[in-house]
Amino acid sequence: MNPNLSINLSLLPSPSDPDLPTGSESLDSLPSLELRTRFLVACNSLLQPTRSILKNINLKPSFLISSFHWTSDLASEFGIPRFNFGTVSCFTLFVTHQMQAHNLIGNGKPDSDPFVIPGLPHRIEFTNAQLPLMLRKSVGNAGKNARNQSVRSLDSCDGILMNTFEDLEFDYCKLYQGIKENVFCIGPLSSISPVDENHACLKWLDSVKEPNSVIYICFGSMARVSSRQLNEIGLGLKRSNQKFIWVVREGDFEDGELDFVEDGLNGRGLVVRKWAPQVAILSHVAVGGFVTHCGWNSVMEGVCAGVPMVTWPLFAEQFYNEKLVVDVLQVGVRVGVEVSTEGVDGDEAFVRKEEVERAVNELMGGGEKGEERRRRAKELGEAARKAVEVGGSSESNLTLFIEHVKKKLSDK
C-alpha cells in the first residue's frame, strides 16, 4: 500500500422516512423485506447532503461511483464522470435486457408458465414467479418508480464496474458489453480478511479430519427464514448424516427452538447464532459444499473458495444466480424452490426436509457427476485467484478503467 495515499471519509445522515425504524442505514438492517422499496426511495434524501459535501471539498473527485439515480444529476452538475457499481452478474443484466427487449415479462401468462430467454448461448428458462418483484407487471407504483430509477441509473452512467471476472461468465460479459459501453469486470472483490483464529467455527473445522466433508449453510444477512422452515432445515440436515456448519440469523428463532438440531448429533453439526466468518469458513480445507440463498456476494465467495453449491434462491435476482451456477457453470444442485418469497404466501416457497436431505447428499456425495462438479468448482476458484493477479483479466480491466477516466478528464 502506498503510504502517501490519504483517504477522507465524509458521513451522510441515515435515509429519512418517518415510516422506517430508527437505525435503518442499510438493506440488511431492515426488519422486513416489505420495507426495501421504501428504504430505496428514502435514499433520495441523501441528495442535498451529498451535494453539500461536493461543494465544500477541497479537491474535486476525478470520478464518482454510485448506483443511486440522483447522483447522475450531481455528476453532471459538478462535471464528474459517474460509474455504476454492478452488484449483480453480467448474466443477470443481459438476461434482464433480453426479457424486456422481447416483452417476455407478464403478458398475462400464469406466473408458473416457463419461458425461454432468446439470444443466449445456453438454454435458460424463467417463470414470472421467479422474477424480482420490481420487474413484475403487477408491481405497484412504488415498485415501478424503483424500477424506473434503476433503469435511469444504468442508462445515464459513463460505465459500470462489475464484481465479476471474465473466466466466470465470459460469454455473458461480452454479450452485455455489446449493449452497454464501458463495462469493466474487476472482480472478485472478496478476499480473506483478518479473522480470530480462535473463533468457534474455525476451531471446530480444525477438528474435522476429512477434507471436503463439511457442508456450510447460510442465507445471508437480509433473508428472513420462518421458524417452521428452520425446523424443516434442521430435520433435513439430521437425516442427511453430513457434517455441517449452519449459520442462523438472530431473531429468526426463539430461545430453545434450535436445540433439537444439536441434540444427539455427537459433534456432527455446529449451529452458529448471529454471525460467522463466511470467507474463512468456505476457504477451510474441511468444507466441501455451500447451501446458499444465491446472493451475488455469497455466490462469488463460494466460487472463489472453489466449493460446489446447493442453490436456494429467495428473492431479488437470486434465481438468475441459481441458473448461472447450475445451468451455465454446472457447479450447483437445486434444492427445488420455484417461487420468489417476495409477495407470496410462505407455503409456496416452503422446502421440505426430504428435499433438503436430497440436495445436501447429492452435492456432498461422490459419483461421476459429483466429482465433475467439484472439479469445475476448483477450476473456477483458481481462475478467480488468477484474475486479480498482476496480468490477470480483472487487474488489466482495472488499469483500463483508470486509463478511461484519465482520457475523459483530459478530453474536457
- 10-residue mean pLDDT profile of the chain (412 residues): values are 72 82 76 75 88 89 90 91 94 95 82 94 95 71 64 85 97 97 93 66 92 96 84 91 89 61 67 88 96 97 97 95 98 96 75 97 92 97 96 97 92 76
Integer Cα distance of 392 and 310 in angstroms:
29
Q: Which residues contact 23 (CB under 8 A, 6 or more apart)?
A: 14, 29
Cα dihedral sign, 171-176-181-186 = negative
What burial letters (b/e) apply to 39-51, b meaning 16+ CB within 10 Å? bbbbbeebeeebb
Q: Is the Cβ–Cβ distance between 216 and 281 less than 8 Å?
A: yes
The predicted pLDDT at position 143 comes to 58
User: CA of 104: how far to CAs of 27, 52, 141, 192, 410, in Å?
Assistant: 29, 43, 20, 40, 43
**Distance of alpha carbon 195 from alpha carbon 240, whole angstroms:** 30
* CA distances in angstroms from 188 to 191, 341, 386, listed in the order given: 8, 28, 10
Return d(Cα 16, Cα 24) in angstroms, integer. 9
How far, rounded to the nearest angstrom, does the alpha carbon of residue 106 sit from its chain's CA centroid?
Answer: 25
Residue in the structure block whose three cell numbers are 466460487: 303
pLDDT at residue 266, rounded to an integer: 62
For residues 412 and 409, what is the distance between their CA atoms, to the nearest angstrom? 5
Nearest residue to 363 (alpha-carbon basis) of 169, 216, 218, 207: 216
* Ordered domains of the chain (ranges, CATH): 60-187+388-411 (3.40.50.2000), 200-386 (3.40.50.2000)
Half-sphere exposure of 98 (CA within 13 A, CB side): 21
* Strand ordering across the sheet containing 309-311: 269-273, 243-248, 214-218, 287-292, 309-311, 332-334
The angle at the Cα of 88, spanning 396 to 196, to the nearest 5 degrees, equals 80
Contact predicate 32/20, CB 8 Å: no
Q: What is the model's pLDDT at position 145?
A: 65
